[in-house]
Amino acid sequence: MDTVGLLRDLSQASGVSGYEDEVQAIVRQALEPHADTLRIDALGNLIALKRGKQADGAPTRAVMLAAHADEIGLMVKELEEGFIRFTRVGGVDVRILLGQEVVVHGERPLPGIVGSRPPHITPPEEREKIVGLDELFIDVGIPEERLSKLVHVGDIVTMRRDFLELASGCVCGKAFDDRAGVVAVVECMETLSTMDHLWDVYAVATSQEEVGLRGAMVSAYGIVPDVAIAVDVGFGAQPGVDEAESVKMDAGPAIARGPSIHPLMYEKLVATAKEHEVPHQTEIIAGRSGTDAWAIQVTREGIPCGLLSIPLRYMHTSVETVCIKDINRTARLMALFIAGLDEHFAEAMGLD
Amino acid sequence: MLLRELSEARGVSGNEGPVRDIILEAVGDLVDEHRVDAMGNLICLKKGRRQSSEQAWPRKVMIAAHLDEVGLIVTGINGDGTLRFDKVGGIDDRILLSKQVLVGQEALPGVIGYRPIHLIPRKERERVADPKKLAIDIGAADKSDAEKLVQPGNYVSFRTAFQVLDEEGLRTVKGKAFDDRVGCAMLVELLKEDYAFDLYAAFTAQEELGLRGARVAAYAINPDVAFVHEGTVCDDLPKKKDLSPVTELGKGPAITFMDRSVITDRRLVKLLVTTAEKLGIPYQFKRVVSGGTDAGAIHLTREGVPSVVVSVPSRYIHAPVSLLSLSDFDYTVKLMRAALHTLEGGLES
């Protein structure tokens, strides 16, 4: 599979939480060849089902894979003297916004700039303060009269960032959180097309994760899987971040362990990785994981979850960076895990 | 469009070569002589039509714009393969976060990232990020990997594409380094006409480090009069305090009567104002005494040179992406062409 190409397309697409359509159209196209059914639910989750070959008489079992399609972004709040005031959708650090290029999704996509005042006229004391949301604005270079016809309050705004290939197989762009995870899920489904698996597989590109795991909540309810794996990004080791807080880049997916992860899911993921020599690492998450796994775990009567994190640097900036190999490894690990799901495992898990 | 090419070219102070090459190509047949001096200034001469026996003043007119842009320079390589850097020229640290850059002659792509918001305590998010903790990431696995690709001393520029934002009205465009590639583009336009006097177009180096190229270029040219062309501060933005916009987009060329580095020659200011009014060209004054320009060095050259600055208002200069109006650009060229022709008959006091 063209991992880089799909990640590029997904990264360039616009999909702020609640507005994932453009992303889902690309995911649909990528999943179609590997899915028996495909649907979009009421909250905008894209759900693809690939049936397993469960033996006659055995109960139908299903595993859900979840990676979120949405990205953080901005929203138009007000027009002022030909400039655009905005608010945030999801966890955006306002400090990264100065001098950032964006796209305002008005009547047509309008390229814009989050303006910054030049140092020539900025007093030194001002440079020691952050520029708050109330002072930031977007400039699309269009005068007031026409701007008011093109842009409306509530229009969404995405970061604008070219996808770049860096050294050592790393790439950089926006919204790799969690388009990298979506690519891993697609790649896993493709790999499964060449493998035998007994369990049904639901691949879900979830919506609205960044505003509170909302898509995962309802899609898990609808699917009723026996077990689930969420695929998200993890804090890759980077300048300014403690080793203790991060996972290694280019060292494979981080398999999470902690209260929101079912111990046997963790063990089977690790055993699978070891058996097939898939590079991997362990990440301990003491509480909230902030991922879809957190919501899926408490859906209906409870769903055992695993969590894989693709190491990623500079999370929630517009220059997120991942190693392509880590995406490949994550996809391969999930496919091998799924191929290994059987009634012995179901029994060990205590599934009905 | 020449401005597009100039804007996307990389020429951080001290490394202006790529910008100079584009200009050399563009001025090819327009000039009689050209040379690159020890500082990296490109000095072009377009000879006047006047006979050398004629007693007229001025004989030598200098027009200047600077080649260089603000940027970064690699100062070292960290153990994890990321690059330490320093700023070249006046950059507000706050604009460095979450940007793409190009490193070295090979234009190796890199990023300046920042810590994930999830790991930053709320209190700290209200403070300016410490620039010493920022690094450029080129994707290198470790130090030895990075050392194969980058050396300390490599120049780093922002990675920004030129684009037309609005085809109507003010015809706005966005791009990198309009300070002062717009001035360079102006000089090329001005070289397309013939004048009675010798016209020296100086594309200067290292303006952003303290007007360093202009000083030696003006010494060598020894002009009678000088015009400096800039992409200048345009702060016509919504703000809480009642501060001057300095210049306004779409209001035409900005004439400087004084900045931090020069009190411009009042006869030249008058020449520009009367020319603009005669031709009905919109113009404005630069209303805040801030920033220095090459005129600061030029007017103090040798025994002194009457100098003035005429600029194209540019929003967000010294940041990765700036914005200007092509109609302001056209008006500035039009005003300068007319003013230079008027100057052929001398200067009223």
Provide the ipTM.
Answer: 0.92
Q: Is A141 on the interface with B (CB under 8 A)?
A: yes
Find, among A273, A271, A212, A281, the residue nearest to A246 by Cα. A281
pLDDT at B96: 97
Taking the CA atoms of chain A, what radius of gyration do you get in angstroms? Answer: 21
* Residue A71, phi then psi, degrees to nearest 5: -135, 160
pLDDT at B349: 75
pLDDT at B51: 80
B174–A117 CB contact, under 8 Å: no
Write the pLDDT tens digit of every residue in B108-122.
999 999 999 999 999
Alpha carbon of B262: minimum distance to chain A alpha carbons (Å): 15
Find, among A152, A145, A158, A153, the residue nearest to A114 by Cα. A158
What is the token pair recorded at B124? 């700290």
Residue type, B266: R
Q: Is A251 on the interface with B (CB under 8 A)?
A: no
With CA atoms as reference, the chain B residue closest to A312 would be B116
pLDDT at A104: 98
Residue type, B108: L
CB atoms within 10 A of CB A33: 9
* Strand stretches in chain A, DSSP E: 37-40, 46-50, 62-68, 73-80, 83-89, 101-105, 109-114, 138-139, 156-159, 164-165, 170-173, 200-206, 227-235, 254-257, 281-284, 305-313, 320-323
pLDDT at B288: 84
The number of residues in chain B equals 349
Pairing of strands B225-233, B60-66: parallel
pLDDT at B243 over 90: no
- On whether the CB atoms of residues B176 and B157 are closer than 8 A, the answer is yes
Residues of chain A found within 8 Å of residue B126, distances taken between Cβ atoms? 130
A304 DSSP 8-state letter:
-
pLDDT at A242: 84
A99–B95 CB contact, under 8 Å: yes
Mean pLDDT of B178-189: 98
Q: Which residues in chain A come in under a pLDDT of 50?
A: none
Q: Is A93 on the interface with B (CB under 8 A)?
A: yes
Number of H helices, E strands in chain A: 9, 17
pLDDT at A187: 98
Number of H helices, E strands in chain B: 9, 17
Find, among A228, A213, A241, A208, the residue nearest to A311 by Cα. A241
Q: Which of B96, B115, B118 to mutate to test the interface with A (most CBs of A within 10 A)?
A: B115
With CA atoms as reference, the chain B residue closest to A92 would be B117
Pairing of strands B155-158, B198-204: unpaired
Mean pLDDT taken over chain B: 96
pLDDT at B61: 98
Taking the CA atoms of chain B, what radius of gyration do you get in angstroms? Answer: 21
Residues of chain B found within 8 Å of residue A113, distances taken between Cβ atoms? 174, 315-316, 321, 323
B139–A140 CB contact, under 8 Å: no
A315–B117 CB contact, under 8 Å: yes
Cα distances (angstroms) measured from residue A34 to each of A184, A190, A192, A310: 14, 6, 8, 23
Per-residue pLDDT band for B342 (boundaries 50, 70, 90) equals: very high
Write the pLDDT tens digit of every residue in A31-68.
999 999 999 999 999 999 999 998 888 899 999 999 99
Residue type, B21: D
Residues 10-69 of A with CB under 8 A from B: none
Q: List beta partners, residue B111.
A: B100, B137
Helix residue ranges, H only, A152-196: 176-192
B117 vs B94: CA distance, rounded Å: 16
B276 vs B334: CA distance, rounded Å: 9
Write the pLDDT tens digit of every residue in A300-337.
999 999 999 999 999 999 999 999 999 999 999 999 99
Q: Is A209 tagged catalytic?
A: yes
Write the pLDDT tens digit of every residue in B45-54.
999 998 877 7
Residues 8-27 of B with CB under 8 A from A: none
- Kindly name the residue from A20, A71, A187, A209 that is annotated as catalytic: A209
Q: Which of A4, A158, A314, A324 to mutate to test the interface with B (most CBs of B within 10 A)?
A: A314
Kind and range of the H or E element at B103?
strand B99-103
What pTM was computed for the model?
Answer: 0.93
Per-residue pLDDT band for B247 (boundaries 50, 70, 90) equals: very high
CB pairs under 8 A between A and B: 211
Residues of chain B found within 8 Å of residue A168, distances taken between Cβ atoms? 139-141, 145
B72 vs B130: CA distance, rounded Å: 16
Q: Is B108 on the interface with A (CB under 8 A)?
A: yes
A93–B233 CB contact, under 8 Å: no
Mean pLDDT of B301-308: 96
Q: Is B246 on the interface with A (CB under 8 A)?
A: yes
pLDDT at B43: 98
What is the DSSP code string of B4-57?
HHHHHS--BTT--HHHHHHHHHHHGGG-SEEEE-TT--EEEEE--SS-TTS--S
Q: What's the 3-state SS for A233-270? A: EEEECCCCCCHHHCECCCCCCEEEECCCCCHHHHHHHH
Residues of chain A found within 8 Å of residue B120, distances taken between Cβ atoms? 93
Per-residue pLDDT band for B241 (boundaries 50, 70, 90) equals: confident
Give the dihedral sign, CA B217/B219/B221/B222. positive
- On whether the CB atoms of residues A238 and B115 are closer than 8 A, the answer is yes
